Structure 1
Amino acid sequence: MFSLNDEFVENQIMGLAGEWRPATIMPRPHRHNEIELNVVETGSITYLFGGSRISIRPNHLAIFWGATPHQVVHIEPDSHFHWITIPFSLFMQCHLPDTLLQQIIGGKFLQYVLEELCQEICIRLHQWHHDMKAQTPEHNKIILLELEASLRRILLSVPHPSSEQDQHHGTASTTLNKVEEIAAFIAESYTQPLKVEQIASHVHLHPNYAMSLFRKHVGISITEYINQYRVAHAQRLLLTSDANVSEIALSAGFGSVSRFYSVFKEAYGQDPTDFRKGFSLSTNKK
């Protein structure tokens, strides 16, 4: 089973997995095709997600699609949390409310205040982590059925996600603020033609310094980070629309279909057409 103690890579296949563990800073952003759930028991963790800092505090359930690049960039002392990933196709088969699915597929980072449900959910999470170690189809089926029931119970009790604003820690240095400005600009502009010079100008830095600064603190180049967003955008369209590959490539910000194929295959080990076919087959299985 995958563990967050493993090395982070750009695109991971995590499957149905999870654990309860101390929170740690992630050295670089990563992506995966699963839906991810986080529940913090103690302390708090802060993600850089979609160019914004988003903090998860105790008694909060966070749900997001891992296709969007995300990175834990700040933790409070003694922070412990649960994480679970659910394959996209299995999550879609839960038949949860369309409004929830649309927000997740659209790249939203949703948080629900659990209040009195938190203890019950944490007990279930510990049980699911235990069941996952068995790695049997029957255990996995039980996990998915209980997970669907738990999410439905949460949505009945807390029908709307928290409206709290993304939080920026006052202790963040000017250097890190510049890195986050770059990340935010990319998150807002990746579907358009982007050059490093344009991005550096936006944050008032020399291009060479901007590239060096970003790689030092994020762990990948600016170009790689842009491609992560473009691939995630294309992935959403491949799974949720009937648009052809050429239309998707241009919509995601790739300058050519050949470039799209090259970057996508490097990320997923298969071309966009095969990726779409594979998802269709998995969701049609009985």
Structure 2
Amino acid sequence: MKLSESKIVERAIYRPSPSSIEGTPTRLHFFHAHPAIMLGPHWHAQVEVNYVMRGSMHYRMADHDFRLHAGQMCLFWGGQPHRMDESSDDSIYAGGHLPLVHFFRMRLPPAISAMLMGGATMLTSETDAADDQNFPRWRNWAHSGDEVKAQHAVEELLLRLERMFMEPYTIVSSGKELRTGSASASPSPGVVRMCDFIAANFLDEIDAGDIAAAAGLHPKYAMNLFRKSTGMTLIAYLTLLRLSRAQAMLMNGKESILQVAMDSGFGSVSAFNKAFRQIAGMPPSDFRRDIRATAR
């Protein structure tokens, strides 16, 4: 996000780039900034956590919307098209975008993972002054160039998110809210291994058999385990990583649609067009035209 951290930029607009969350879908991104509004819905292959330190902001998701105020935190799956359409002039937020390889390292109840992957948003007001200090520090450590500090930032963030589900929280989905709480559970090591392999190889020609073999699992068992844990198939997640990268290229690059398809790991333009339509509701050429027209 190309914003100054020392001052608020009036009506700041979020502009994805090849190095942003869309362009690098397997990297864990930390942020601490004024939340910029989005010209239209976007998506990325990470679980997103936002902690509002000051002001307020409003999100529109696929089947619900919600507003966050200072002292509130949310967690949702970025693979669904979503848009931040309001951000108060004084708002500051912090958080991160977690690839699934990090997300499934956490000890969360399986039901929580399933609801998140299904499009629900988790909200909590159980925050304190430590969060005001920790979120900016995690961002600074992650960008410090010190590998030990960067790893500590990741580990501390994951522990903080685990604690979110040990205290009261709210589930928002399809316009409904449910106040609840739950105990933690261990993630599947097999899912972590599969996510790790996909993250390292999503631009190559791989299939479900390759992914299962890398995780030391039988293909059928691997596919069932991944679907049960994430609510999506192995190929759907692989495709989402590729679409996330393609989205950033379409918004900012000058490459042809064919080149975008090839550079994003798709074997053909027809396969790329079909997958892109399913998530964006339009072909990639129309998406590029509309987003650039809106930006102007």
Q: What range describes the TM-score normalised by the shorter chain of this pair?
A: 0.5 to 0.7
Distance 1:49 1:266, change over 3 A: farther
Change (3 A) 1:28 1:146: same
Q: 2:43 is aligned with what amino acid?
A: R
Deviation, structure 1 residue 12 = 3.2
Quick one: structure 1 residues 92 and 267, their matched pair in 2 at CA, closer, same or farther if it must change by over 3 Å?
farther
Amino acid at match of 1:270: G
Whether the aligned pair in 2 keeps the contact of 1:17 and 1:84 (CA below 8 Å) is yes
Aligned residue runs from structure 1 range 46-125, under 5 A? 46-114=58-126, 117-125=127-135
Residues 1:151 and 2:145 are matched in the alignment? no
* Counterpart AA for 1:8: P
Q: Kindly indicate whether residue 170 of structure 2 is the aligned counterpart of residue 161 of structure 1.
A: yes
Aligned to 1:230: none
TM (norm. structure 1) is 0.54
Counterpart of 1:153 in 2: which secondary structure? helix
Structure-2 change in CA distance of 1:22 and 1:71 (3 Å): same
Following the alignment from structure 2 to structure 1, what is the Cα–Cα distance between the partners of residues 171 and 79?
22
Shift in CA distance, 127/101, structure 1 to aligned 2, threshold 3 Å:
same
Q: For 2:102, what is the secondary structure of its paired residue?
A: helix
Residue number in structure 2 paired with 1:254: none
For the pair 1:29 / 2:41, whether they are aligned, the reply is yes
- Hey, what's the Cα distance between the residues in 1 that align with 2:118 and 2:263? 20
Structure 2 equivalent of residue 134 of structure 1 = 144
Kindly provide the amino acid, as one letter, of the partner of residue 132 in structure 1: A
Structure 2 CA distance for partners of 1:103 and 1:34, relative to 1, 3 Å: same
Instruction: State the distance in 2 between where 1:244 and 1:163 align.
Output: 26
Assess if the C-alpha contact under 8 Å between 1:45 and 1:74 holds in 2.
Answer: yes
Question: Counterpart of 1:179?
Answer: none
Matching residue within 24, 35, 39 for 1:13: 24
Structure 1: runs of 5+ lacking an equivalent: 168-235, 250-261, 273-286
1:77 counterpart SS class: coil
After superposition, the C-alpha distances for 1:239-274 in whole angstroms (9 at most, x for unaligned) are 84796869x99xxxxxxxxxxxx99x84981249xx
Evaluate the alpha carbon distance shift between residue 163 and residue 135 of structure 1 in structure 2; reply closer, same or farther with a 3 A threshold.
same
AA in 1 matched with 2:39:
P
- For residue 76 of structure 1, report the CA deviation from its aligned partner: 2.3
**How does the TM-score come out when normalised to structure 2?**
0.53
The structure-2 alpha-carbon separation of the partners of 1:78 and 1:85, relative to structure 1 and needing over 3 Å to count, comes to same
Moved more, 91-100 or 41-50: 91-100
CA deviation after TM superposition for structure 1 residue 68, in Å: 0.9
RMSD: 3.7
Query: Residues of 2 paired with 1:271 and 1:239: CA distance?
Result: 25
Higher helix share: 1
Letter paired with 1:66:
G
Contact in 1 for aligned 2:64/2:173 (Cα 8 Å): no
Distance in 1 (alpha carbons) for counterparts of 2:118 and 2:262:
20
